[in-house]
Amino acid sequence: MNFPYKKILFYLTIACLLTPFFVDSRTYFPFIIGKATVFRFLVEIMLVVWAFWLIKDKKIFPKLTLLTKAVLIYALVIFLAAILGVNSSWSFFSGNERMEGVFGIWHFILFFLILVAVFDRKEIENILKIQVGIGAVYSLMALSGYWRIITMIANFTANRLVGYTGNPSYFATYLIFNALLALYFYFEEFEITKKLFNFWLPISIFQGILVFVTGTRGGMAGLGIGCLYLIFSLLFSKRDQKYQIFKKLSAGGLILGVLFVILAFSFKNATLVQKNFALERLTSVSLKDPTAASRILSAGIAWKSFLQKPFFGWGPENYEAAYIKNFDPKIIKYLPGDFYFDRAHNKPMEVLATTGIFGFISYIGIFVFSFLILNKCKKKKGNLLGVITLESLIIAYFVQNIFLFDFHESYLMFVLILAFIHSFGEENFVEEKTKQITNKKIEFSRELLSYLIIFGITGSVIISLVFGVIKPFLTSRDIFFTNYYSRRSKTDEALKSLKSAIRSPSFLSEDITMGFKKGYAENSYFLDDAGKKSLVETAVSFGEKIIDKNYVQYQVLMAMADLELSMSQWEPLRMDKALKITERVLKTTPYFPNTHLLAAKTYFLNGQEDRGMEEAKKALELNPQLATGYYILYLGYKNQGDTKLSEENLLKSAQLKFPFGETQTIRSAAQLAITTKDYQTLEYLYQLGIQFEPKEYTWYVSLAATYGKLHNKDKAIEYAQKAAELNPDLKQASEDFIQLIKNEEWDKIPD
């Protein structure tokens, strides 16, 4: 009985298709690392199974077609670009937020090679049919989560349709692949049955509509242009009469589509359009739109960066370095709060900047050879509709990537499509036959070599799984639990998790520093002084080893400067280190508002108040929404005795939800908000006060009154009852207040 290698690889492949569902809420960047970890684990197991099978059957080695060669050349080029880039470690392994790098891309390329080596066209087609089914279930679950029918972590993402991707743009890309794949199978079924309707059609239409519902303009553009290519290809086709019905449908669809767009833009200011999120997003397309304008400027930065390093670029994952070096301050005008890009948001331009002309040519070559294969297939009878649909899919994917970048779901779907296209080209591929060698000594030597290779592959996979897959995942969980326990005032557990992350020899060292700093800023109020010191001291000692490298990421430097500032309250000499890092950041990113905000904090805490206030003003000129900038000005004017300006800046910092660290300042800000009847700000301040003093009934009284002023009956009654629970003497007053709320006597509610 033969060992079922193919069956095992088939089921492992299906398992890979399920990875978009993996979301671990107890990791740092929960939508990213769970998927990457499971996928890499599965692919490396597939590699071992494939390698063992290769010993038994040499025929399952991938055929070196032009498409396969293009993919392998791209793999080689990004490897060289990583070695020659400004931050090789980051190029190879990336970080927790993206989990890409050469290491990640090579896993997808390995997945592609196994698919084309093991499965024929029909088998890959069956895999894709399963994928369309998985995509349909995924979409239904996404809708259920969006409508709050089921509970899923994606619900916490800005009330947009995101599924388990965590990002509406990512979800739109995934939908495009599945919608057009379903359309491919619709046409294939039509070729067999000649029936105009089959169950693939509603699946395709359903997922196509969801692209629109996500409100992702890049996704809309990609799918729209892909469909236009499909329509015009059908309209101008001179093939069989049986396609006439699709020509008529295409013409009708084109007319309806054009009318829809014209009407939508003509009435873009109408209530119907403005209240529909997707329509509003579609009709807001403009070169002056902040998103569009910033993307154009980013593409210009990528071009300038390419000219500086034209051959192998800055290295994969190193767009941040190029972006900072060639930063265009105009971007802040359009996106004052979201100006920092670690991606060009234009995949072709990012490839050009980070891997140079060699990377760009090899990347484009993959698309070119895919089209060449499909173009040859058009000439075959019965292939036209399906082939045109696959071409439309490739075009749609490429176009939407002009506005985005790749991620787990897009890489997964793209390599599946490439494997399928490869199977079309395989039919025309003639493999050169090699002469059989019967020499027993040579055969024995080859067999021995094969087993040595298997041993080497298995050993490499074990090392990779431990250090490149499992440990990074555990590190990500440790980062999460450090912050999780900090928020719950469990210092010992938080410190244990932090030390565990530091001890783990994974490639996420930068993420440990950035993740801890982010969590500490949010959770330090829940820790006692000793707990704060032990955690910060541990993080700083580790972080100092990172920033000694030639190129250090902007976010890491910012995090380290903040942590050194925190440490200076226990060790004053740390202030000198904070100043050095701050000046280093100021030198490299003088146009970033957050850089000036860091400088403002550093100088102010160092006793240089005038200089700190000057830097705070610079930061606010660039981004008027920085709460910390106003808070620093409040402190400065307060120390100068300027009551009017100090109060103005205190109120402004409260309105922007500054996380005040003590209750007296919260009460002062609340008094200012009361005079201006700013009840939204009062709601935030009283909630913050409750965090610090959960047993203090006065916060609940004030919050109940605030909700009354906001006409929020349920919340007003809830907090009035809580106030009475904490202070029974308020029972009658609470009942009277609740009666006012029920009677909607809003004017009788005191401020």
Instruction: Please indicate, yes or no, if residue 586 is contained in any of the structural domains.
Output: no
Confidence (pLDDT) at 445? 56
Could you tell me the pLDDT band of residue 286, with boundaries at 50, 70 and 90?
Answer: confident
pTM for this predicted structure = 0.91
The 10s digit of each residue's pLDDT in 79-126 is 999 999 999 999 999 999 999 999 999 999 999 999 999 999 999 999
If you average pLDDT over residues 262-272, what whole number do you get?
A: 90
Domain boundary among 285, 318, 347: 285
The 10s digit of each residue's pLDDT in 655-714 is 999 999 889 999 999 999 999 999 999 999 999 999 989 999 999 999 999 999 999 999
Domain boundary among 261, 285, 309: 285
The 10s digit of each residue's pLDDT in 414-433 is 999 999 999 998 655 444 44
Residues 81 and 356 sit within 8 Å (Cβ to Cβ):
yes
Kindly write down the DSSP assignment for every residue of 337-364, as one continuous string: TS---SS-S-HHHHHHHHHHHHHHHHHH
Higher pLDDT, 336 or 651: 651
Could you tell me the pLDDT band of residue 157, with boundaries at 50, 70 and 90?
Answer: low
% of the chain with per-residue pLDDT over 90 = 77
* Cα 675 from chain centroid (whole Å): 42
Q: Do residues 137 and 259 share a domain? A: yes
Q: Do residues 274 and 166 share a domain? A: yes
Q: Do residues 317 and 302 share a domain? A: yes
Confidence (pLDDT) at 566? 95
Spatial distance between the Cα atoms of 403 and 217, rounded to a whole number of angstroms: 9
Confidence (pLDDT) at 699? 96
If you average pLDDT over residues 48-55, what whole number do you get?
A: 91
* Cα 382 from chain centroid (whole Å): 40
Instruction: Please indicate, yes or no, if residue 214 is contained in any of the structural domains.
Output: yes
Alpha helices in 464-528 (DSSP H): 471-487, 491-503, 509-523
If you average pLDDT over residues 307-335, what whole number do you get?
A: 95
Instruction: Please indicate, yes or no, if residue 471 is contained in any of the structural domains.
Output: no
Q: Do residues 302 and 266 share a domain? A: no
Confidence (pLDDT) at 437? 43
Instruction: Please indicate, yes or no, if residue 622 is contained in any of the structural domains.
Output: no
At 513, list the tokens: 């520093």
Confidence (pLDDT) at 706? 95
Spatial distance between the Cα atoms of 222 and 397, rounded to a whole number of angstroms: 6
If you average pLDDT over residues 382-404, what whole number do you get?
A: 93
| Model confidence at 449: pLDDT above 70 | no
Instruction: Please indicate, yes or no, if residue 200 is contained in any of the structural domains.
Output: yes
The 10s digit of each residue's pLDDT in 618-662 is 999 999 999 999 999 999 999 999 999 999 999 999 999 999 988
Mean pLDDT of the chain: 91
| Model confidence at 155: pLDDT above 50 | no
Token pair 């609340």 is found at 670
The 10s digit of each residue's pLDDT in 476-529 is 999 999 999 999 999 999 999 999 999 876 788 899 999 999 999 889 888 999
| Model confidence at 724: pLDDT above 80 | yes
If you average pLDDT over residues 322-344, what whole number do you get?
A: 92
Element spanning 124, H or E:
helix 121-146
Spatial distance between the Cα atoms of 501 and 722, rounded to a whole number of angstroms: 40
Cα dihedral 626, 628, 632, 638 in deg (nearest 10)? 100
Q: Do residues 340 and 234 share a domain? A: no
Confidence (pLDDT) at 637? 97
For residue 689, which of 734, 719, 712 has the smallest C-alpha distance? Answer: 719
At 505, list the tokens: 């020899």
Confidence (pLDDT) at 176? 98
Q: Do residues 162 and 280 share a domain? A: yes
Confidence (pLDDT) at 438? 47
At 207, list the tokens: 């997922």
Q: Do residues 304 and 230 share a domain? A: no
Spatial distance between the Cα atoms of 113 and 544, rounded to a whole number of angstroms: 41
Q: Do residues 233 and 138 share a domain? A: yes
Spatial distance between the Cα atoms of 653 and 667, rounded to a whole number of angstroms: 13
Cβ atoms within 10 A of the Cβ of 308, count? 12
Q: Do residues 107 and 133 share a domain? A: no
If you average pLDDT over residues 354-364, what whole number do you get?
A: 98
User: What DSSP character marks residue 289?
Assistant: S
Instruction: Please indicate, yes or no, if residue 564 is contained in any of the structural domains.
Output: no
Domain boundary among 354, 377, 400: 377
% of the chain with per-residue pLDDT over 70 = 95
What range does the domain containing 212 cover?
Answer: 125-285
Could you tell me the pLDDT band of residue 602, with boundaries at 50, 70 and 90?
Answer: very high
Q: Do residues 138 and 244 share a domain? A: yes
Confidence (pLDDT) at 749? 84
The total number of structural domains that make up the chain: 2
Spatial distance between the Cα atoms of 498 and 537, rounded to a whole number of angstroms: 11
For residue 553, which of 579, 580, 577, 581 has the smallest C-alpha distance? Answer: 581
Residues 60 and 117 sit within 8 Å (Cβ to Cβ):
yes
Instruction: Please indicate, yes or no, if residue 592 is contained in any of the structural domains.
Output: no
Cβ atoms within 10 A of the Cβ of 329, count? 12
Instruction: Please indicate, yes or no, if residue 276 is contained in any of the structural domains.
Output: yes
Query: Among 174-188, 222-236, 418-432, 727-741, which is the least confidently predicted range?
Result: 418-432
Please tell me the chain's helix, strand, coil percentages from 3-state DSSP, rounded to the nearest 5: 75, 0, 25
Q: Do residues 110 and 135 share a domain? A: no
Could you tell me the pLDDT band of residue 436, with boundaries at 50, 70 and 90?
Answer: very low
Q: Do residues 140 and 276 share a domain? A: yes
